[in-house]
Amino acid sequence: MSDTENKTGRARGEEWWRTGIIEMRPGVIRLRGYEIQDLIGRVSFPAMIWLMLRGELPSEEQAALLGVALGAAVDHGPQAPSIAIARMAITCGVGINSAMASAVNVLGDVHGGAGEQALSVYGDIAAELDAGVPLAEAVSARLDRFLVGENGYVPGLGHRFHPVDPRAPRLIELTRDFAARGVVSGRFADIAEMVEAEVARRKGKKIPLNIDGATAVIYGELGFPPPLTRGLFVLSRSVGILAHAWEQSQESDRNKGPLPREWLWAYTGTPVRPLPEDDDGSQ
Amino acid sequence: MSDTENKTGRARGEEWWRTGIIEMRPGVIRLRGYEIQDLIGRVSFPAMIWLMLRGELPSEEQAALLGVALGAAVDHGPQAPSIAIARMAITCGVGINSAMASAVNVLGDVHGGAGEQALSVYGDIAAELDAGVPLAEAVSARLDRFLVGENGYVPGLGHRFHPVDPRAPRLIELTRDFAARGVVSGRFADIAEMVEAEVARRKGKKIPLNIDGATAVIYGELGFPPPLTRGLFVLSRSVGILAHAWEQSQESDRNKGPLPREWLWAYTGTPVRPLPEDDDGSQ
Amino acid sequence: MSDTENKTGRARGEEWWRTGIIEMRPGVIRLRGYEIQDLIGRVSFPAMIWLMLRGELPSEEQAALLGVALGAAVDHGPQAPSIAIARMAITCGVGINSAMASAVNVLGDVHGGAGEQALSVYGDIAAELDAGVPLAEAVSARLDRFLVGENGYVPGLGHRFHPVDPRAPRLIELTRDFAARGVVSGRFADIAEMVEAEVARRKGKKIPLNIDGATAVIYGELGFPPPLTRGLFVLSRSVGILAHAWEQSQESDRNKGPLPREWLWAYTGTPVRPLPEDDDGSQ
Amino acid sequence: MSDTENKTGRARGEEWWRTGIIEMRPGVIRLRGYEIQDLIGRVSFPAMIWLMLRGELPSEEQAALLGVALGAAVDHGPQAPSIAIARMAITCGVGINSAMASAVNVLGDVHGGAGEQALSVYGDIAAELDAGVPLAEAVSARLDRFLVGENGYVPGLGHRFHPVDPRAPRLIELTRDFAARGVVSGRFADIAEMVEAEVARRKGKKIPLNIDGATAVIYGELGFPPPLTRGLFVLSRSVGILAHAWEQSQESDRNKGPLPREWLWAYTGTPVRPLPEDDDGSQ
């Protein structure tokens, strides 16, 4: 890094903002080394996403599978806080980009983190497979670690609302199709299914794979690191966020609150009281 | 609306959050009437975006052209405020979704509005064509209106950095290809090219179509209303925002400011002075 | 500005980030020319806010009146979208600063703009008074302009929920107190009261001053320009936003949606349908 | 909670949004039980903040000390990412509330978390004092735990830029003044000074208390829990964020990037290359 430290002036300033993603000169834009006008019309939108994030172009099949995962998680309805926030925000007189921003901002560890957490677990197991540990053993050992500290909550399984998440079986089925064609190995699907089976054995009932686990399988098959999959979930959910903000913007509500306009909220605090006799903090 | 006003209790609450986008029951998720497991793997990610925003599935060709436009505007480098903000944010100890949110939030009227504004102009002209006005006349009349109040700034033309925006000619070329195949009419390309020609005639020099004008052409050909294209630009630029946040997250900078760490800023304010003798606002 | 354009290197970079607010050197922080250690403990928080925004220290009385206005608008309950958003956001696994950001972000033209709009109207009238126009005439003329295009909606008057906004009369009373002591002139109070009276005359019923109009009076008396008062409202409402986020963070809700957990939403869209026979946009 | 579960309809909806902070009926607004018109003009802005967050009114002195801490951390200049982001955002055509939101959003664990972390350490030591452990011993034991895992970084000490943070000594001096008057106990000041002394002894050089440690002392003296002090820092820094956004809004820059307009960035990525022969992901 001494190269950087020796720079001064404009060169130092430009070094401060160095990147390997995009190169520009007047009339020239290159993304990861490719002229943008060569990319336009020759690579799909999912392939462009892959190129920007990974630095290399995927095969058409890999891009297609990425698009499958991105499309699967776009929406889960107005009871998801991100969706409700987008709808309320757009009624407050801000641009649609700001309605989207307030919503995307809450895809945090609880509302958006399960996929990343599931892939992290699957990745740990995959590392054990690489070291020669048999699948069932690797899964069991990882679950031991997980279940001790985590009250038995394994990310990627179960759903608050759906007995079976309708998106998961289809995503695994597609993963198997792509594996059969040699696009991916299929081993993350194996891992996830073994996790599901072992948890069912331990708990005496099946807790099925959900959207987070199923998309984690695909992102794992495609080689995305867990923290980056949070960003992929953001790209995906941004579509539903935009759709709902747009739909709401066509209505006439202003300053839309969470409950019907004529409702209030329950007050559970101190009953009415007078200010103390002595003057507190008066101006 | 009397139907809504007569509802009470839970039905009133659920009516307050009504939507035509997504239907859910335990085990069931439908987007615009289609079971999600039927959509997964059968429609591309751009087609899913179209379905969510427009309510109907596009043809494969229409989805492909949408993907072309979305992929073209993903990044313009760290001197774009949205990109710089994403890079700084991720060094401050917030989740990648929040780094993306702070960035997406600034795609406002100045940083993200030109495409919407360009399409609005093209749409006005298209309406005149529908009324039977010849193209050259419709363009000239619209430019008269525009240039009077706007100091000659026509959205969709010119670029602060590029003498010719390398993305625009390729996007128009592709639009012509899709028009030749009957996927779109080509008339927004005609409109934009006539606008470019008429401005050149009036100013005595060519101010070429830029990315905003070119993507506006495609969105117009595909029937998207101008305000919604702002959201499409957000989806597109989110990709570059994520890529830059991710790349920055792999570096060790903490609390990254806009200038090299050892630089400061120029102070242009009041020289050092003592507090006034009389106590102002003391506690 | 030629001075700026001639700079290069580090000086140019530091000029790019010039400010008159804060000066720093190792061991030295000065705000508007005052050593920060001289300000601490000698100026109140409202006086510090004034100094940062206006560049000069206010009198103790001016700072007190600013504090009065800031404290009056801190909260309006969970049916305000900003408050509901803060409460939902904190349950999603993001930091309290991000919960506050998502909320503050929606204090837009509809949810936070009325105070700025009211002060703009009062300021127009004040300009007329400066030109020698009598108050009643200036008010009437301004209302003529306003009511023509605006469907009779005058910012600063009326309230969706309160027949009389309980905050407004007290704020005007205090303004009169401060005017009697010579801290302010009282003329914005005169203006607002004349606007209220003239609207009542025209409409045949009183539409009383609300929080936006009353705080606009105070900010106008204190000389704040209308666009800056939007920022003051943000500072004020941030307090309620924080209080609600904090209270919610002490509960166990995760991913809190707008309706009770066991409720859904009403679906108003296309009934269930199969995918079209021809393959649309398949991968 | 069975009370809640048995509710249905509107009562269930209103229960879902229950709060102990604010009670409202037409014409009535009560904060923590006090009529708002009784609070206005009788409690200072810091006292209002205290009431909203803590549920009870502070004494005038306590409110004053809170105001001291809030005023001390309002700004640290455009090299702080939050400040730079606010300045860039306002040039992008978004409202001042959105410029503030993008900025506040990055006051995360790295940019805004040190005060909370410092108070957490001081609080651990205070708990030991309550259990009868002598101060020096409690400090030493806590530092042992801290320094083992944390590479010797103790929150609240040291500064990247200032050999001595000019704000800290003054804040401790004021804390001692308030303790002398019996407003606070002074024990958090004792703890922080012992931490500073013990770290100096161990490292062989003094690493002085900084703004985060000094405000943590005050917030600790006043009884605020550590996570809530993050929110207090947000309120404080929002003032500088607003001041800088406002100052920038008076300039003519549009889409302000981090470097001077005529600079670029250093490209460190793949050199220019043609698209691969085989068609990847083509449309």
* pLDDT reading at B2 higher than 60: no
Inter-chain CB proximity B88 and D77 less than 8 Å: no
Range name among C159-163, C213-217, C252-256, D251-255 with the lowest pLDDT average: C159-163
Q: Say yes or no: C40 contacts chain B, CB-CB below 8 A.
A: no
B266 vs D: CB within 8 A: no
Q: Helices (DSSP H) in chain A: which residue ranges? A: 2-5, 9-16, 36-39, 45-54, 60-72, 81-89, 96-104, 114-130, 135-149, 167-180, 187-203, 211-221, 226-249
Instruction: Say how far apart CA D190 and CA D184 lie, in whole Å.
Output: 12
Flag if C13 and A13 touch (Cβ within 8 Å): yes
Map residue A225 onto helix, strand or coil.
Answer: coil
Question: Which residues on adjacent β-strands are paired with residue A30?
Answer: A23, A35
> Residue B186 gets which letter from DSSP?
-
Chain A CB within 8 Å of residue D140 CB: no
**For position C281, what pLDDT does the model report?**
44
Q: Is C63's Cβ below 8 Å from some Cβ in D?
A: no
Check if the beta carbon of residue A168 is closer than 8 Å to that of residue B41: no
Q: How far is CA D172 from the centre of its chain?
A: 18
Contact A94 C80 (CB under 8 A): no
Q: What are the Cα distances from residue D153, in Å, to D106, D214, D220?
A: 22, 16, 20
Read off the pLDDT of each residue in D112-116 and give the average, rounded to a whole number: 90
Q: Is the pLDDT of residue D239 over 70?
A: yes
> Which residue is associated with the tokens 């993507």?
B215
D64 neighbourhood in chain C, CB within 8 Å: 44
Backbone φ and ψ of A250, nearest 5°: -90, -5
B256 is written with which tokens? 């990254």
Q: Is D88 on the interface with B (CB under 8 A)?
A: yes
Nearest-by-Cβ selection for B84 from D8, D80, D257 = D257
CA distance D155 to B144: 63
pLDDT at residue D62 in the model = 98
Note the pLDDT of residue B192. 98
ipTM over 0.90: yes
Work out the pLDDT band at A112, boundaries 50, 70, 90: confident
A vs C, Cβ pairs < 8 A, gives 151
Which among C12, C13, C111 is the nearest to A255, CB-wise?
C111
**pLDDT of the residue at D145:** 84
pLDDT of D152 above 90:
no
Give the torsion sign (CA, B244, B246, B247, B248). positive
Which residues from D are below 8 Å from A98, CB to CB?
94-95, 98, 101
Q: Could you tell me the pLDDT band of residue B277, with boundaries at 50, 70 and 90?
A: confident
- Distance from the Cα of A245 to chain C's closest Cα (Å) equals 13
Cβ-based contacts of B249 with chain A (< 8 Å)? 227
Taking 90 as the threshold, does the pLDDT of residue A278 lie above it?
A: no
Q: What is the pLDDT of residues A204-235, one digit of tens each?
A: 999 999 999 999 999 999 999 999 999 999 99
Average pLDDT over residues D48-71: 98
B263: amino acid identity, one letter: W
D64 reaches A (C-beta below 8 A): yes
List, as ranges, residues 112-131 from D with C-beta within 8 Å of C: 112
pLDDT grade for A250, boundaries at 50, 70 and 90: very high
Contacts of D9 in chain B (CB under 8 A): 8-10
Q: Which chains touch B (3 or more CB pairs under 8 A)?
A: A, C, D
Could you tell me if B246 and A228 are in contact, meaning their C-beta atoms sit under 8 angstroms apart? yes
Which chain D positions have a beta carbon within 8 Å of C164's beta carbon? 27
Distance separating alpha carbons of residues A89 and A86, to the nearest angstrom: 5
Separation of alpha carbons D40 and C73, rounded Å:
10
Q: Does D236 touch chain B (CB under 8 A)?
A: no
Section B147-175 average pLDDT: 88
Q: What pLDDT is attached to residue B111?
A: 86
Exposed, middle or buried by CB within 10 Å (0-12, 13-18, 19+), for A136? exposed
> What confidence score (pLDDT) does residue C150 get?
55
Nearest CA in chain D to C101: D101
How far apart (Å, rounded) are the C-alpha atoms in residues A234 and A239?
9
The pair phi, psi for residue A261, each rounded to 5°, is -50, -40
Quick check: A246 and B112 CB within 8 A? no
B239/A49 touch (CB, cutoff 8 Å), yes or no: yes
**Residue A158 touches partner C, C-beta closer than 8 Å:** no
For residue D98, pLDDT over 60 is answered with yes
Question: Which H, E and C letters describe chain C, residue by residue?
Answer: CHHHHCCCHHHHHHHHCCECCEEEECCEEEECCEEHHHHCCCCCHHHHHHHHHHCCCCCHHHHHHHHHHHHHCCCCCCCCHHHHHHHHHHCCCCCHHHHHHHHHCCCCCCCCCHHHHHHHHHHHHHHHHHCCCCHHHHHHHHHHHHHHHCCCCCCCECCCCCCCCCCHHHHHHHHHHHHHCCCCCCHHHHHHHHHHHHHHHHHCCCCCECHHHHHHHHHHHCCCCHHHHHHHHHHHHHHHHHHHHHHHHCCCCCCCCCCCCCCCCCECCCCCECCCCCCCCCC
C92 touches chain A (CB under 8 A): yes
Per DSSP, D255 falls in state S
B171-228 pLDDT per residue, tens: 999 999 999 999 999 999 999 999 999 999 999 999 999 999 999 999 999 999 999 9
Confidence bin at B281 (pLDDT 50/70/90) = very low
- Phi (first) and psi of residue B28, to 5 degrees: -130, 130
Chain B: closest CA distance from residue A238 (Å):
7
In the prediction, which pLDDT does B149 show? Answer: 59
Please report which residue ranges of chain B form alpha helices under DSSP H.
2-6, 9-16, 36-39, 45-54, 60-72, 81-89, 96-104, 114-130, 135-149, 167-180, 187-203, 211-221, 226-249
Decide if pLDDT at A190 tops 50: yes
- pLDDT value, residue A5: 54
Compare D281 and D63 and report the one with higher pLDDT. Answer: D63
pLDDT-based confidence at A280, cuts 50/70/90?
very low
Residue B150 reports pLDDT greater than 60: no
Q: Rounded to an integer, what distance in angstroms lies between the CA atom of residue A46 and that of residue A60?
A: 9
Which residue do the tokens 């993903």 mark? B74
Most confident of the following: B141-155, C141-155, D14-28: D14-28
A57 touches B at CB < 8 Å? no
Q: How distant, in Å, are the alpha carbons of A169, A181, A182, C172 from that of A176?
A: 11, 9, 10, 71
Beta-carbon contacts of A230 under 8 Å, excluding residues fewer than 6 positions away, are A107, A112, A113, A115, A116, B95, B96, B97
Size of interface B-C (CB pairs under 8 A): 195
Return phi, psi of residue D72, to 5°: -75, -25
For chain C, percent of residues with pLDDT exceeding 90: 89
CA–centroid distance for B81 within its chain: 15
Please give the Cα distance from B80 to A174 (Å, whole number): 38
| pLDDT-above-70 percentage for chain C | 94
Asked if the model's pLDDT at residue A81 lies above 50, the reply is yes
The chain B residue lying nearest D109, using CA atoms, is B93
CB contact under 8 A, A55 and D270: yes
Residue B146 is predicted with a pLDDT of 72
Chain D CB within 8 Å of residue C57 CB: no
CATH topology of domain A59-257: Cytochrome p450-Terp; domain 2 (1.10.230)
The arithmetic mean of pLDDT across residues A160-165, rounded, is 92
Q: What is the pTM assigned to this prediction?
A: 0.96
Q: What is the structure's pLDDT at C152?
A: 67
Secondary structure (DSSP) of A93-125: T--HHHHHHHHHTT--TTTT-HHHHHHHHHHHH
Per-residue confidence (pLDDT) for residue B30, from 0 to 100: 98
Q: What is the mean pLDDT of residues C75-94?
A: 97
D261 to chain A, any CB pair closer than 8 A? The answer is: no
Mean pLDDT of chain C: 94
Torsional sign, CA B36, B40, B43, B45: positive
Instruction: Identify the band that residue D150 occupies on the pLDDT scale cut at 50, 70 and 90.
Output: low
CB contact at 8 A, A45 and A38: no
Q: What is the radius of gyration, based on Cα positions, of chain A?
A: 24
Mutate to test the interface with D, among B16, B87, B94 (most CBs of D within 10 A): B94
d(CA C1, CA A259): 54
Cβ distance A31 to D267 under 8 Å?
Answer: no
* Beta carbons of A34 and D64 less than 8 Å apart: no
| Residues ≥6 apart with Cβ < 8 Å to D160 | none
Find the mean pLDDT for residues D148-168: 86
> Residues 6 or more apart from B41 whose CB is under 8 A from it?
A68, A170, A173, A174, A177, C282, C283
In this structure, the number of other CB atoms found within 10 A of the CB of residue D119 comes to: 30
pLDDT of residue C128: 97
Q: Does the pLDDT value for residue A279 go beyond 80?
A: no
**What is the token pair recorded at C245?**
């986020």
Of residues A15, A22, A263, nearest to B75 (C-beta): A22
Among candidate residues C106, C97, B224, the one with its CA nearest the CA of residue A100: C106
Q: Do C263 and B39 touch (CB under 8 A)?
A: no
Q: Secondary structure of B225-279 in the HEC alphabet?
A: CHHHHHHHHHHHHHHHHHHHHHHHHCCCCCCCCCCCCCCCCCECCCCCCCCCCCC
Q: Is the pLDDT of residue B5 over 60?
A: no
Average per-residue pLDDT in chain A?
94
pLDDT recorded at residue D111: 85
Give per-residue pLDDT as tens, B111-124. Answer: 888 999 999 999 99
